Structure 1
Amino acid sequence: MTTPDSGDAGTTVREAVVGLLRATGMTTVFGNPGSTELRMFRDWPDDFRYVLGLQEASAVAMAAGHALGTGRAGFVSLHSAGGVGHALGNVFNAYRDRVPLVIVAGQQARSLIQLRPFLGVDEPAQFPRPYVKFARQPERAADVPAVLAEAHRIAMTPPRGPVFVSVPEDDWDEPAQPVPPRAVHAGFTADPDALAALAARLDACARPALVIGQGVDDEGALDQAVALAERIRAGVWISPLSGRSGFPESHPLFQGFLPPLAGELAARLAPYDVVVALGTPVFTYHVPDDSPPLPPGTDLFHLDCDPAQAAWLPTGTSLVTTLRPALTALASSVAASDREPPPPRTRPAPVPAGDRLTPELVLDELHRRLPRDRVLVEEAPSHREVLHARVPVDLSGGFLTTGSGALGWGLPLAVGRALADRRRVVCVLGDGSAMYSVQALWTAARHGAPVTFVVLDNGGYGAVRALGRRIDIAPVPGTDIGGIDFARLAMSFGVPADHADHPDDLDKALDRAVTRPTDDDGPHLLHLHVLGTEGTLYAPWAR
């Protein structure tokens, strides 16, 4: 007879968890296996896929890319304390970028925990905090499936994000009850009176603006944001250092990207009397600046699903809400405006080819070859402003980067995103960024991930050099990293590669790298030596 403590005598924790993963669509597992996870893989099911990352941070970022591509939570298997420690930089990125991940880490056997064993973890639930939404080691083996089910529901509830469960290695063979799938529908709308007051303020204002954050892309609210912007003829900005797209950059109302400096951000928003921020904290700053967050006479309204974010904002009125229903309600409530729309954003002219490759030339030529449905991943901090200016993104989900600044995210994120639907991804990397997670090239080759990696090599950490100049530190020690042959390195991992040093070689190299015969034509890397070796930073806000 089955007791409540023992679970179903015919079902183990492992079998119950496999059933849960299958029911929730988490049948692709990203990880780097270790001894305390081995029993989870007994009788590994044929309909599951294990994607090996050669370092745990890369496994987390690949799972994040896969989650962003599928719309489902990514599943990650990590190894006890050391593996979780390696992974935490990208767990931080996933938390800031609202990527739903279910992270399971091994723990030593329950019978050994009191003895502080080799590979044991003290206070495992505290280890990844505060950068997970939920962290727990179940009290009993029989509780593991139910705790994982709860964790999954929390990961997928707005604001989405990573969750963490520590499982002692001897739990997997213990009996447990299967967990039936259960749906949680978590959309919610702000108080109707608050939305009505915002609609009235928009009707009465002279010059409205929208600030788009990654919440718009995360919640699939791009169409609703466009409809509101067009109805009120608002200027539209992307929030500072946003990790996602969220508004078509070729749209005539699009004005550009806000800088992560208080004074310059306030100056960009000074022409507007009402600013409505959507799914963004707005005030993401990179360096100190004593300027006020907004100029006098500018009212801020902030719509987001995260009550914690609403609480810490220094100014404005916050409406805690998911975006799609709120924007739909607003667009139907406000009057269609006949105010003069803001002038369209000025696009930079194409640059002529000179004697050296420049980021401007490379990105102009890259944009010319990019099909509209390609996904663009960026981790080139020295050249991000140039990329934004010269490679507009118009599709929801069409642009991914790190919204938190921890490097080592972009390269494996692109691999996981490509594995989600086999659509070709183009990943633009700096030479410094690429070296944080270069081992993910092996996974790209192993699984034939359709990713084009474009490495812009300026010989060092150009963004750090430029920030050093800003505070009168020059030269900055430890910012020179030249001499890496990325093409040969990629080929050693099994990724076909080319390099180019001169504009005359660029066209053919980009044709081979970007214009692949099919999306399933596997990975390719292009290594480009670009002007900027002395630390030129192509970001006006950082000069």
Structure 2
Amino acid sequence: MPNSRPTVREVSFEIFQHFGVDRLFGNPGSTELPMLKAMPEGFDYVLGLNEAVVVGMADGYARSSGKPALVNLHSSAGTGHALGNLFTAFRNHAPIVVTAGQQARSILPYDPFLFAERPTEFPQPYVKWACEPARPEDVPQALLRAFHIALTPPMGPVFVSIPVDDWDRECDRPGLPELHMETLAAPHNIDLLARRFNRASHPALVLGTGSADSHSWDSAIALAERSGASVWVAPFAARDVFPEDHPQFAGFLPAMREDIVRLLDGHDMILVAGAPVFTYHVEGEGPHWPPHATLAALSDTESHLAALPGDALGVLGSVAPALAALAEKVQPRAFAGSAHALAAPEARMTDSYVLSRIAALRPANAVVVEEAPTARGPMHDNLPILREGGFFTCASGGLGYGLPAAIGAALGQNDKVLAVLGDGGAMYTIQGLYSARLHQTDISFLILNNSAYAALQGFASHFGMNSVPGTDLTGIDFVQLAQAQGVAARKVEETGDLDAALEWSFAQDGPSLLDLRIT
């Protein structure tokens, strides 16, 4: 009598499809080959030439599409290459399920070639959960749990190590439950927040990445307009949180304690939503917010509330429904603050001027993926984000995310992607251009090339340094790097050539690159 039990591989792909997964991001290795055998029709393999590229693409795809991403890595070596962008995915709250190859169970006691020793420990603490199933039959249940944990707010990457000989073993089909894991704030806590708003004369709403993760764009607008609140972006927010051309948009908070207190000084009540209070980049002294103001925090991330300083009020819950409920309860108030002003830069090849021309000429609904630390301030002043789902950047501060994330973002939605990158960051994962061409992604790679790690040079004065070794990047030709990988490219050195080059790039259907030589 023939055996009708399915294999681990067959059941695993049924689980992937149950969660809406139709592609696998990877760079194949020997211990992953049985996973790739007989992939279902219509299930795509998205190739990256380095595991950092693979995870960066998956991160951009998950955050832009709103679906979980599936990644396959090669035992310890591939996981090690991926760790920098896995750390970023963890900080970005990107729902990624990572499967990693492991050597065959029968030879694990003999320290075999290309195996992973203590595999579940290697990616920690920058995954929400890690597992190597005890038996081949347990792989499907481990994958089910992995997806549920990855998709539970605050979302994030998970890791499952799978021995190479497990995929062809027989197993039972587990049930495929559909879980909805949103955490709603208690009604009495919404009442507490509403009372604070109603007692205030000049409230402020500070929005962080968690606000965008819960799709709070419309509810944040509704609350701001009803309450008359000024809206600020939390330090190092990695998503679009509010329309930056809205009259109540006040600007961006820096990651410095004293400056935050100074900028928020005109407010007597502050609600921080979807962010910690606060993210700092340097040491500071004094209060964390103006002493005369009350502060409350709303987040679905427990650590944001557990670390609250002072006498703040903390409310646990998904940000979007809480802001919507709060908008129904606050008393209407006219806006009495001031709006964030855009700059009018001089026509020179500076980052400010180049960004202003990108803003003026960009296609409708274009999505911006940014990794240009030196230009972040000028970007705030010259390239406003105007649409929901229109901005992604790196929450971790590491480099090498932006270029592959732009590829993932292009795969995850249909609008043009503008990858605004620094030359230093772009070089971390420059081989991602091959994947951009291979998958014909609709991206304009815009390299703000100042021939330096200029962010470090600017930061050096904080430590009393006049110069920093290892920050001169003179001599890199991004046009040749792009063309070598099949991507059309142009160099721009003069302002008179800038608009035509941008229009050329924005008109391309596939990937293109501009090497923008800025002073």
TM-score normalised to structure 2 length: 0.98
| Match 1:65 to one of 60, 64, 68 | 60
Helix, strand or coil for the counterpart of 1:293? coil
CA contact (8 A) 2:51 2:82 kept: yes
Helix, strand or coil for the counterpart of 2:110? coil
CA contact (8 A) 1:52 1:443 kept: yes
CA contact (8 A) 2:277 2:309 kept: no
In the alignment, is residue 367 of structure 1 matched against residue 359 of structure 2?
A: yes
- Classify 1:308/1:282 alpha carbon distance in 2 versus 1 (closer, same or farther; 3 Å): closer
Aligned pairs (5 A) from 1:361-510: 361-510=353-502
- CA positional deviation for 1:458: 0.5
Residue in 2 that maps onto 1:158:
153
CA–CA separation in structure 1 for the residues paired with 2:352 and 2:409: 26
1:112-167, CA deviations, whole angstroms, 9 ceiling, x for partnerless residues?
11222211112111111111111100111001011101110111111111111000
| Match 1:523 to one of 479, 487, 511 | 511
In the alignment, is residue 327 of structure 1 matched against residue 319 of structure 2?
A: no
Task: Give, as a single letter, the amino acid of the residue that structure 2 aligns with 1:323.
Answer: V
Task: Give, as a single letter, the amino acid of the residue that structure 2 aligns with 1:412.
Answer: P
Residue in 1 that maps onto 2:313:
317
Structure 2 unmatched runs, 5+: none
Structure 1 unmatched runs, 5+: 3-7, 532-543
Helix, strand or coil for the counterpart of 1:318? strand
1:242-265, CA deviations, whole angstroms, 9 ceiling, x for partnerless residues?
111110000000011100111111
Aligned pairs (5 A) from 1:186-335: 186-315=181-310, 316-335=312-331
1:214-254, CA deviations, whole angstroms, 9 ceiling, x for partnerless residues?
11111111100110011100010001111111100000000
1:398-446, CA deviations, whole angstroms, 9 ceiling, x for partnerless residues?
0100011011000000001101233210001100000001010000001
Aligned pairs (5 A) from 1:319-358: 319-338=315-334, 340-349=335-344, 351-354=345-348, 357-358=349-350
Residue in 1 that maps onto 2:31:
36
Helix, strand or coil for the counterpart of 1:348? coil
Residue in 1 that maps onto 2:77:
82
CA contact (8 A) 1:240 1:282 kept: no
| Match 2:179 to one of 180, 184, 192 | 184
- CA positional deviation for 1:106: 0.4
1:9-52, CA deviations, whole angstroms, 9 ceiling, x for partnerless residues?
53000000011111211111001110111110111222110011
CA–CA separation in structure 1 for the residues paired with 2:356 and 2:457: 25
Helix, strand or coil for the counterpart of 2:24? strand
Task: Give, as a single letter, the amino acid of the residue that structure 1 aligns with 2:488.
Answer: P
In the alignment, is residue 511 of structure 1 matched against residue 507 of structure 2?
A: no
CA–CA separation in structure 2 for the residues paired with 1:312 and 1:200: 23
- CA positional deviation for 1:469: 2.0
CA contact (8 A) 2:363 2:416 kept: no
CA contact (8 A) 2:351 2:378 kept: yes
In the alignment, is residue 116 of structure 1 matched against residue 111 of structure 2?
A: yes
CA contact (8 A) 2:5 2:172 kept: no
CA contact (8 A) 2:150 2:156 kept: yes
CA–CA separation in structure 2 for the residues paired with 1:131 and 1:102: 13
Helix, strand or coil for the counterpart of 1:29? strand
CA contact (8 A) 1:275 1:300 kept: yes
- CA positional deviation for 1:341: 2.1
CA–CA separation in structure 1 for the residues paired with 2:186 and 2:307: 20
CA–CA separation in structure 2 for the residues paired with 1:191 and 1:372: 39
CA contact (8 A) 1:24 1:181 kept: no
Aligned pairs (5 A) from 1:90-101: 90-101=85-96
Helix, strand or coil for the counterpart of 1:125? coil
TM-score normalised to structure 1 length: 0.93
Task: Give, as a single letter, the amino acid of the residue that structure 2 aligns with 1:523.
Answer: P
CA–CA separation in structure 1 for the residues paired with 2:476 and 2:186: 56
- CA positional deviation for 1:372: 3.5
Report % sequence identity: 43
Task: Give, as a single letter, the amino acid of the residue that structure 2 aligns with 1:65.
Answer: G
1:67-107, CA deviations, whole angstroms, 9 ceiling, x for partnerless residues?
12221100000000011011011111111111100000001
CA–CA separation in structure 1 for the residues paired with 2:333 and 2:362: 35
CA contact (8 A) 2:257 2:288 kept: yes
**Matched length:** 518
Helix, strand or coil for the counterpart of 2:232? strand
- CA positional deviation for 1:500: 0.8
Q: Which moved more, 1:170-179 or 1:479-488?
A: 170-179
Cα root mean square deviation, aligned:
1.4
Task: Give, as a single letter, the amino acid of the residue that structure 1 aligns with 2:401.
Answer: W
Task: Give, as a single letter, the amino acid of the residue that structure 1 aligns with 2:394.
Answer: T
CA–CA separation in structure 1 for the residues paired with 2:351 and 2:394: 20
CA contact (8 A) 1:211 1:282 kept: no
CA contact (8 A) 1:454 1:527 kept: yes
- CA positional deviation for 1:189: 1.9
Task: Give, as a single letter, the amino acid of the residue that structure 1 aligns with 2:329.
Answer: S
CA–CA separation in structure 1 for the residues paired with 2:373 and 2:22: 34
CA–CA separation in structure 2 for the residues paired with 1:301 and 1:371: 38
CA–CA separation in structure 2 for the residues paired with 1:436 and 1:375: 22
CA–CA separation in structure 2 for the residues paired with 1:291 and 1:104: 46
- CA positional deviation for 1:291: 3.2
CA contact (8 A) 2:368 2:392 kept: yes
Residue in 2 that maps onto 1:539:
none
CA contact (8 A) 2:341 2:381 kept: no
CA contact (8 A) 1:9 1:176 kept: no
> Which of structure 1's runs of 4+ aligned residues deviate more than 4 A?
none
CA–CA separation in structure 2 for the residues paired with 1:147 and 1:99: 19
